[in-house]
């Protein structure tokens, strides 16, 4: 089974690479022109929007984990969440969860609680993305079918439904039950953080391609990022996110070369932002430890 999954991953990566090469060969001039048209101030602000998005999303994750037990706090939670999520760059969707669970255990938080928090935050983020997908309707009428799922998602965020669902998943996976159920205020704050995080990612795309319009950029990024999340065979949804983004930008009037240029620049910026925030989280933890040790002397 593992060999089949590995083979499927390599095939998927080969298909993605072939698609990118084909588009680059066909639209090289337009692709290169688009890259040169991105002003460096816009690029810097776009990267800053991504860093802010990750910081806000981490707050939402921390709120959920805190709601399941004793307070973890943002600084300690950021180290667990941000360093752990680098596991998504390894093919297979489980690595980020496993790394977060291990980091959480070393920080004194149970694996079950970290896993539950990550799972719940993923669901909250998915519902927030469904809500924001309405802004993509001007460029992707096909996104209307996502709105059918929105009422179901909102109902699933009710504390009783959420507790039942997470409890069922934990029983199936033979994990410890969650320490305590999430309350509505924590769910509301995490949902608000997800909406703001998605919006900042839309701002990131709008700074690169302002002619698309900010609301459409928010909806497009929410759809593309969600699609990439479900592509567990590929590292960090590589290829799927870009394909969806290229399709959405194409319906808005961009050529394939232009759309691919924006999608690839966005991919590079996401990777830089992920690594940068993880390094900042580790540096913050070390600074905190050094300050504490100095105070005890």
* Distance, CA of 9 to CA of 55 (rounded, Å): 30
Do the Cβ atoms of 139 and 216 come closer than 8 Å? yes
The answer for 183, left when phi > 0, alpha when psi is -120 to 50, beta otherwise, is beta
Find, among 96, 92, 113, the residue nearest to 104 by Cα: 113
| Alpha helices per DSSP H over the chain | 2-26, 28-37, 40-67, 74-84, 94-106, 111-132, 144-156, 159-172, 184-208, 214-230, 240-251, 256-296
pLDDT at 242 (0 to 100): 80
Q: What is the pLDDT of residues 246-295, one digit of tens each?
A: 888 888 788 888 888 888 888 888 888 988 999 998 886 655 554 444 43
pLDDT at 153 (0 to 100): 87
Structure tokens at 134: 């309405």
Percentage of the chain with pLDDT > 90? 21
Which residues have C-beta within 8 Å of that of residue 122, sequence separation ≥ 6?
229
Q: What is the mean pLDDT of residues 1-5?
A: 52
Q: What is the pLDDT of residues 113-141, one digit of tens each?
A: 888 888 899 899 999 998 998 888 776 66
**Number of residues assigned to the chain:** 297
Structure tokens at 113: 């609680």
Do the Cβ atoms of 249 and 263 come closer than 8 Å? yes
Side-chain-facing half-sphere of 273: CA atoms under 13 Å: 25
Which residues have C-beta within 8 Å of that of residue 296, sequence separation ≥ 6?
none
More confident residue, 256 or 75: 75
The model carries a pTM of: 0.82
Domain boundaries, the chain: 2-296
């Amino acid at each position: 089974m593992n060999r089949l999954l590995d083979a499927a991953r390599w095939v998927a990566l080969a298909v993605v690479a072939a698609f990118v090469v084909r588009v680059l060969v066909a639209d090289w001039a337009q692709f290169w022109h688009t890259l040169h048209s991105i002003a460096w101030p816009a690029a810097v602000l776009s990267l800053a929007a991504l860093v802010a998005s990750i910081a806000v999303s981490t707050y939402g994750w921390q709120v959920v984990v805190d709601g399941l037990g004793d307070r973890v706090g943002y600084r300690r939670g950021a180290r667990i969440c941000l360093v752990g999520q680098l596991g998504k760059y390894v093919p297979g969707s489980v690595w980020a969860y496993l790394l977060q669970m291990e980091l959480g255990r070393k920080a004194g938080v149970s694996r079950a609680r970290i896993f539950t928090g990550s799972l719940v935050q993923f669901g909250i983020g998915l519902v927030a993305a469904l809500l924001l997908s309405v802004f993509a309707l001007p460029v992707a009428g096909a996104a209307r079918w996502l709105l059918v799922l929105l009422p179901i998602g909102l109902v699933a965020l009710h504390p009783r439904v959420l507790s039942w669902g997470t409890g069922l998943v934990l029983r199936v996976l033979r994990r410890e039950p969650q320490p305590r159920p999430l309350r509505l205020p924590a769910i509301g704050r995490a949902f608000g953080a997800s909406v703001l995080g998605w919006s900042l990612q839309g701002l990131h795309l709008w700074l690169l391609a302002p002619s698309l319009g900010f609301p459409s950029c928010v909806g497009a990024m929410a759809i593309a990022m969600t699609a990439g999340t479900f592509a567990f065979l590929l590292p960090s949804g590589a290829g799927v996110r870009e394909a969806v983004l290229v399709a959405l930008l194409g319906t808005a009037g961009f050529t394939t070369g232009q759309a691919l240029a924006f999608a690839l620049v966005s991919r590079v910026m996401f990777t830089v932002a992920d690594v940068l925030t993880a390094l900042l989280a580790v540096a913050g933890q070390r600074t905190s430890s050094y300050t504490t040790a100095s105070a005890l002397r």
